[in-house]
Amino acid sequence: MERWIAAAVQLSSGVDADANRARAAALVREAAARGARLVVLPEVFAWRGTAAGEAAAGAEPIPGPTTVAMAALARELRLWLCAGSILERVPGEPLPYNTSCIFDPGGRLLTRYRKIHLFDVELPDRVSVRESATRGPGRETVTVPTPLGTLGLSICYDLRFPELYRRLARDGAEVLLVPSAFTAPTGAAHWEVLCRARAIENLCWLVAPNQTGTSPHGHADWGHSMIVDPWGRVVAEAGDAEEVVVAEIDRAAQARIRRELPCLGHARLLG
């Protein structure tokens, strides 16, 4: 499919999982009504606790309540759905994973990606987060071929690690997905420039839905979900409210840019 519509859903998720899933479903339906073939939800869209120690209680297996609901939604609306991320409980594992799932228009779970880079940061008087205390790190990069193009999966803090995205591009990624819950201090400084850089470096489309508002942990999330084209132009951007932003993905334009600026083939330091 050469041209199609992508949607980024911006949410302000809280502690009520049922309410979060219902709000997410409503906005996915809005995206579908606006013609979206791929809809991407933000990080931890289904549940966010008030304290770090609650992560285990909020985790669920796959399949579980959230993934079953998202599979049914993708099947009903006949679209590709990236279920942002949930906390995935795995038998025998001491900590849950922060996991993104891709569903096809038949509601089948095609693949999952477990967040590799965990957000441990201490910004005095602004943000204190230690994700590694409550979640386990993933170990594998994930791309998935689809009729829309090959999707490259990542989550939030991954955005700061360009080597991940170069590997995704080397594995064929054309559209980078970055479901996020970027905090306001780091988002104001770095969100747009990082999203644009990852798109430019890899000549990829990038779809980055974000959380917004005040999280249950008490810090502000940045919002400003965006879709970026392979030339680094922000072609759709949300504000500070819950909303859906959409943009047309033009694969022919991407192919032309890659022919005219073949930097992916010029890379010498491949690791």
Residue 180 sits in a domain whose CATH number is: 3.60.110.10
- Which of 156, 195, 204, 237 does the annotation list as catalytic? 156
At residue 124, the pLDDT reads 66
**For residues 127 and 117, what is the distance between their CA atoms, to the nearest angstrom?**
18
pTM: 0.96
**For residues 34 and 271, what is the distance between their CA atoms, to the nearest angstrom?**
42
In a domain, 186, yes or no: yes
- Which of 60, 88, 101, 115 does the annotation list as catalytic? 115
Residues whose CB falls within 8 Å of the CB of residue 68, separated by 6 or more in sequence, listed in order: none
In a domain, 97, yes or no: yes
In a domain, 237, yes or no: yes
In a domain, 95, yes or no: yes
In a domain, 271, yes or no: no
In a domain, 175, yes or no: yes
At residue 52, the pLDDT reads 57
At residue 269, the pLDDT reads 85
At residue 57, the pLDDT reads 76
Query: What tens-digit pLDDT sequence spans the chain (271 residues)?
Result: 899 999 999 999 999 999 999 999 999 999 999 999 999 999 999 999 776 566 667 899 999 999 999 999 999 999 999 999 999 999 999 999 999 999 999 999 999 999 999 987 776 666 667 788 889 999 999 999 999 999 999 999 999 999 999 999 999 999 999 999 999 999 999 999 999 999 999 999 999 999 999 988 788 999 999 999 999 999 999 999 999 999 999 999 999 999 999 999 999 987 6
Tokens of residue 142, six digits: 């994930």
Number of domains in the chain: 1
Phi-psi region of 80 (alpha: psi -120 to 50; beta: other; left: phi over 0): beta
156 catalytic, yes or no?
yes
In a domain, 47, yes or no: yes
Closest alpha carbon to 73 in 105, 102, 30, 100: 105
DSSP string for residues in 11-45: B---S-HHHHHHHHHHHHHHHHHTTEEEEEPPTT-
Print the domain residue range for 149: 3-261
115 catalytic, yes or no?
yes
43 catalytic, yes or no?
yes
In a domain, 269, yes or no: no
